[in-house]
Amino acid sequence: MTVAPTDFTIAAPAAAAPRRSWRSAIRRHPTIVFGAGLLAIMAAMAILAPYLGTVDPQAISPIERLRWPSAAHWFGTDSLGRDVYSRTIYGARVSLIVGFSVAVLSTGLGLAIGLVSGYNRWTDAIVMRIMDGLMSIPSILIAIALMALTGASMKGVIIAITVGEVPRFTRLVRSIVLGLREMPYVEAAVASGTPALRILRRHILPNTLPTLFVQATFTAASAMIVEAYLSFLGVGTPPIIPSWGNIMAEGRTWFQIAYYLVLFPGIMLSITVLAVNLLGDGLRDALDPRLQRRM
Partner 1 sequence: MFAYTVRRILATIPIMIVVALFVFALLHLSPGDPAAIIAGDAATPAAIAHIRAELGLDQPIYVQFGEWVWRLLHGNLGISIFTNLPVTTLIAERVGPTVALTISTLIVSVLIAIPIGVIAAWKAGSWIDRAAMVFAVLGFSAPSFVLAYILIYVFAIAFPILPVQGYVSINQGFLPFLAHIVLPSIALGMIYAALIARITRASMLDVLAQDYIRTAQAKGLSNEQVLIGHALKNAAVPIATIIGIGIALLIGGVVITETVFAIPGIGRLTVDAILNRDYPVIQGIILVFSAAYVLINLLVDLSYTFLDPRIRY
User: Contact residues for partner 1 (CB under 8 A)?
Assistant: 129-130, 132-134, 136-142, 144-150, 221, 225-226, 228-229, 232-235, 248, 252, 255-256, 259, 262-263, 266-267, 269-270, 273-274, 277-278, 281, 293-295
Q: Residue 230 burial (CB < 10 Å; 0-12/13-18/19+)?
A: buried
Cβ proximity to partner 1, 189 vs 258, nearer residue: 258
Nearest to 29 by CA among 278, 294, 290: 278
Identity of the amino acid at 179: G
Find the shortest distance in angstroms from Cβ 163 to partner 1.
Answer: 9
102 or 186: CB nearest partner 1: 102
* Whole-angstrom distance, CA of residue 160 vs CA of residue 153: 10
**Dist. CA 117–CA 105, nearest whole Å:** 18
Q: Specify the residue, 199 or 235, whose C-beta has the smaller distance to partner 1.
A: 235
Tell me how far, at minimum, the Cβ of 158 lies from partner 1, in Å.
16
Is the CA virtual torsion 113, 114, 116, 122 positive or negative?
A: positive
Report the nearest approach of partner 1 to the CB of residue 88 (Å).
13
Give least dist CB 104 to partner 1, A.
Answer: 21
State the minimum distance, in angstroms, from the CB of residue 141 to partner 1. Answer: 5
Cross-strand bridge partners of residue 77? 83
On whether the CB atoms of residues 181 and 118 are closer than 8 A, the answer is yes
Give min distance, CB of 251 to partner 1, in A: 9
Residue nearer to partner 1 on the CB measure, 145 or 190: 145
| Alpha-carbon span 77 to 85, nearest angstrom | 8
Residues 6+ apart with CB under 8 A from 88: 75, 242, 244, 247, 264, 265, 268
The CB density around residue 190, as the number of other CB atoms within 10 Å, is 14
Task: Provide the 10 A C-beta neighbour count for residue 130.
Answer: 13
Q: Which is nearer to partner 1, 115 or 127 (CB)?
A: 127
Nearer to partner 1, 88 or 189 (CB): 88
CA 167 to chain centre: 17
Supply the minimum distance, in Å, between the C-beta of residue 2 and partner 1.
53
Pick 121 or 294: Cβ nearer partner 1: 294
Contact of 162 with 109, CB cutoff 8 Å: yes
